[in-house]
Structure 1
Amino acid sequence: MSLPRHLQSSQSDSGDYWPGFVDALATLLLVIVFLLAVFTAGQFALSQALTGRDEQLAQLNSRLASLAEELNIAQSENEQLSLRVSVLNQENGALQETNAGLSSQIAGLQDGLAAARASLAEEEALNEEAQATVALLNNQMAALREELARLNETLNASEAREAELEAEVVNLGRRLNAALASEVARLARYRSEFFGRLIEVLGDRSGVRVVGDRFVFETDVLFASGSAELSEEGRRSLAPIAGAIIQLTGEIPDDLDWVLRVDGHTDRVPLGPNAPFESNWELSTARSLSVITYFESQGVPPRRLLAAGFGQHYPIAEGRTQEAYARNRRIELKLTSR
């Protein structure tokens, strides 16, 4: 009985597929090599086109990248070392538990061996079975002692490595703290210059003073009672500060991440039923946002501004007098890191 023609043809041609497959692979390899050559030429042309970039921009980017990379590496190494210390602590605990278990087994075997020896000593002669039992116990005890010695060596090595890792963690922490302290010191220098400029600009203007590391405006100078809308006098008072902030923005290096925090505070007197705000929280926050909105309208970069409202909960003057209330109704400006 003969097979159909298409079956006969498929059986006769089954050995001819491999050369075609090899040719297809060779063609694909040539295409890939060509594409790699085109990609390499494109990369070379692109690198040549980018070599003319501004040198100062490259230096600033290099400094920023170096500092960011060093901090990221330090933090990454710190996390990895902490994880490794945790793993070693777990392994150390497991080895100690195993050590305790083996010590307990050795003690049990020693008790069994002592009992077997005492029983055999009472007999006149040891039979072969008793001798085999003693030999087996001796072999098991020797094996357990060797295992115990190996585990003790592993435990000592683990403890030594743990001490080294802890020292590395402490060293990395010191390096990271030193880097952060350097950034804080740089920011403190600019903060001092900024406050010096504000003091020169505002002079002895009433309702404005420096308290610690903050520049304080009494809100009676900036806002009407119960309102969060800046008055004309308030705008005039804030205008030179906006100019000083813009000038400071151009002087502080880009790799120093800073913000000007605007804190709103009120007195402890509750708002009336007809007030536009439900609480002193909302009033203090709205006033802070009004100052930030004004600074932004004067050209201060929004990313360098931060608003916060504290209500009546952080007074700087005690008592229930009108003078104390006026001092507690304030806007504070603080130059700080983000």
Structure 2
Amino acid sequence: MALAKAKRPLRPIDYWPGLVNLLSALLLGMIFLLSVFMLAQFYVSRAVIGKDAAVSALNRQTEDLAAALARERSDKAEALASFAAAEQDRARLQAYVDRGKEDGAAPELRIASAEERLGAEKQISARASAQAETLAEQAAELRRQLSAREEALAAAASQDRDQQAKIAELNARLDAALEQKAKALAAYRTDFFARLQSVLGSQPGLSIVGDRFILQSEILFGSGQATVNPAGRGELDKLAAALIELDHAIPPDIPWLMRIDGHTDKKSIQSKHFASNWALSSARAIAVVQYLIGKGVPPQRLAAAGFGEFQPLDPGEGDEAFKRNRRIELKITDK
């Protein structure tokens, strides 16, 4: 069998150093951009919070000034009305005094009393006029303050628009950097699967479907078992070596892991060790992970999952379909 054949020497790959250097430089640039983005977003967030507080305070002051201006206008109107009434009374009294002087019929006492009332009314009119002038000055000052608050609000709104534009630009840069990382990881994944296929060979039971590398369970395990057999250990040794090389090649700022998924056929298992196909698929995935860790693969780069019979590749009912569905899938994903 192909599994028992001796390992064939691999031809050296000359393009790795240059590619790694290029990707390292690219990803260092991405790290710099992300760092600038995080710092800028921190300061922008603080500025936005401060701006919101300032705008709220300005809105409250504007409301208070508007209320005060309304009160001052009301007081001014009352004062003007009082002034007008006083002027009318003064005019009537003056007319009365004038008539009395002309007719000579009014007693001097009544004339003196009228003149006294006229003087009092003049004092009231003067006070009302002074109060009206004061209210006019206060109203003018309130209008100036209100205008200043409106200008401040307009400046804050303009600053907010500028900050929102900066945040949008930083988000666009971050999205571009993340997209570049995803493309870099996809390139590593494609290269890894190509290398893995060349290492493991083109023997039956090995295939690539989309972004997954598939090993049939019979290559690694006996029927109903979750212990890696001797032939399977040889294949996993090759996988471990390729994973270690991949871990060295991918820059540390790209988060990734190899997910090991266990799958079974839909025939019910009858075993004292496993209560269900789900338990068997999970145990097989964990066995592969533990074996790879024992060969030096970093544990943080591995994850195990069991799916039982619930994600078949072949919905058929024959033995060939069941054989295809009993498998271990390898998939490189981001964290």
What interval of TM-score do these two structures reach, taking the shorter chain for normalisation?
0.5 to 0.7
Cα distance, 1:287–1:132 mapped onto 2, change above 3 Å: farther
Q: Report the counterpart of residue 226 of structure 2 in structure 1.
A: 228
Cα distance, 1:167–1:221 mapped onto 2, change above 3 Å: same
Q: Report the counterpart of residue 72 of structure 1 in structure 2.
A: 35
**Residue 184 of structure 2 is aligned with which of 183, 186, 191?**
186
Q: Tell whether the 8 Å contact from 2:205 to 2:216 is kept in structure 1 after alignment.
A: yes
Residue type of the alignment partner of 1:307: A
Q: Tell whether the 8 Å contact from 1:209 to 1:216 is kept in structure 2 after alignment.
A: yes
Count of paired positions = 278
Cα distance, 1:102–1:186 mapped onto 2, change above 3 Å: same
1:297 aligns with 2:294: yes
CA deviation map 1:155-204 (0-9, x unaligned): 11211211221122122222222222222222222211111123334454
CA deviation map 1:121-145 (0-9, x unaligned): 3442662332243233223322221
| Secondary structure class of the residue paired with 1:230 | coil
CA deviation map 1:4-57 (0-9, x unaligned): xxxxxxxxxxxxxxxxxxxxxxxxxxxxxxxxxxxxxxxxxxxxxxxxxxxxxx
Asked which structure has the greater RCO (Cα within 8 Å, sep 6+), the reply is 2
| Secondary structure class of the residue paired with 1:144 | helix
Q: Tell whether the 8 Å contact from 1:78 to 1:173 is kept in structure 2 after alignment.
A: no
Q: Matched residues, percent identical?
A: 36
Q: Report the counterpart of residue 216 of structure 1 in structure 2.
A: 214
Q: Tell whether the 8 Å contact from 2:55 to 2:153 is kept in structure 1 after alignment.
A: yes
> In 1, Cα distance between the equivalents of 2:231 and 2:134?
100
Give the Å deviation of 1:319.
4.9
Q: Which 10-residue stretch deviates more, 180-189 or 115-124?
A: 115-124
Q: Tell whether the 8 Å contact from 1:262 to 1:291 is kept in structure 2 after alignment.
A: yes
> In 2, Cα distance between the equivalents of 1:169 and 1:302?
37
Q: Report the counterpart of residue 96 of structure 1 in structure 2.
A: 59
Q: Tell whether the 8 Å contact from 2:216 to 2:324 is kept in structure 1 after alignment.
A: yes
Q: Report the counterpart of residue 113 of structure 1 in structure 2.
A: 76
1:176 aligns with 2:174: yes
> In 2, Cα distance between the equivalents of 1:279 and 1:143?
84
Please, which runs of 5 or more residues in structure 1 have no aligned partner? 1-59
Q: Report the counterpart of residue 330 of structure 2 in structure 1.
A: 333
* Cα root mean square deviation, aligned: 3.6
Q: Tell whether the 8 Å contact from 1:85 to 1:166 is kept in structure 2 after alignment.
A: no
> In 1, Cα distance between the equivalents of 2:281 and 2:191?
28
Which structure has the bigger radius of gyration?
Answer: 2
> In 2, Cα distance between the equivalents of 1:118 and 1:215?
94
Q: Report the counterpart of residue 147 of structure 1 in structure 2.
A: 145
> In 1, Cα distance between the equivalents of 2:310 and 2:47?
44
> In 2, Cα distance between the equivalents of 1:278 and 1:79?
52
**Residue 156 of structure 1 is aligned with which of 154, 157, 171?**
154
Residue type of the alignment partner of 1:105: A
1:1-338 superposed matches below 5 A: 68-123=31-86, 124=88, 127-254=125-252, 256-266=254-264, 275-277=272-274, 282-303=279-300, 305-312=301-308, 315-317=311-313, 319=315, 321=317, 326-338=323-335
> In 1, Cα distance between the equivalents of 2:133 and 2:202?
100
Q: Which 10-residue stretch deviates more, 160-169 or 310-319?
A: 310-319
Q: Which 10-residue stretch deviates more, 253-262 or 211-220?
A: 253-262
| Secondary structure class of the residue paired with 1:229 | coil
Q: Please, what TM-score do these two structures have when normalized by structure 1?
A: 0.67
